[in-house]
Amino acid sequence: MKSILKIIKETKVETNFSTKWAKSKYLFLKQAPTTETGTFGEKLTVNYLKELGFDAEVVNGGIGDFDTLLNNLIKLENKTATMDTNGSFQFNSIKKGNIDYDFVFCLGFSYDKVYFEIISKQFVEENLTTNMTTKGGGFKYTSKPKKMKLLNEKNLKKEVSKIV
């Protein structure tokens, strides 16, 4: 009789694990727990916005209806995801209804690039239909790199300037 370790090794060989992430500079995010990934995304977004001259801060430790206050006016809910096996980003637990935010800032990490997309609360209300749980865990938004912008100074300034 085979040991469980032997069966695991054999099964691992039979399974086609993606090696794309193996040498990725963002592997730490792929391996991180969800909460830490989200906290990293919030802080990265705020730090980059500040670097570009915007007034931005994480509010209440990112706990509540929104995570980031932009220019003391715009309320952003931050969502961070790593690319899945289908080449998409799944931004989860986006709340609808009587929740106080203006936009969702979606930050997506692929193996070697970082993308972002800003979606309005109105878009969320009108378009997101996949509920994560039956207990109000929020909705899922799926996006692909071709629909998003590369995260760089020019693109971020341009897209943020549209909402401030």
Global confidence as pTM: 0.87
Q: Residue 42 domain-assigned?
A: yes
Interatomic CA distance for residues 130 and 98, integer angstroms: 18
- State the residue range of the domain holding 100: 20-161
Percentage above 90 pLDDT, the chain: 72
Contacting residues for 151 by C-beta, under 8 A, at least 6 apart? 48, 107, 113, 114, 115, 116
CA angle 104/108/111 to nearest 5° reads 180
Mean pLDDT of 100-113: 97
Number of structural domains in the chain: 1
Q: For residue range 14-29, what is the model confidence (pLDDT) as tens digits?
A: 665 566 787 888 989 9
Residue 25 lies in a domain: yes
Which tens digit of pLDDT belongs to each residue from 130-152? Answer: 888 666 669 999 999 999 999 99
Tell me the C-alpha to C-alpha distance, in Å, between residue 70 and each of 4, 39, 51, 146: 52, 17, 13, 26
Q: What is the CATH number of the domain that holds 126?
A: 3.40.1350.10
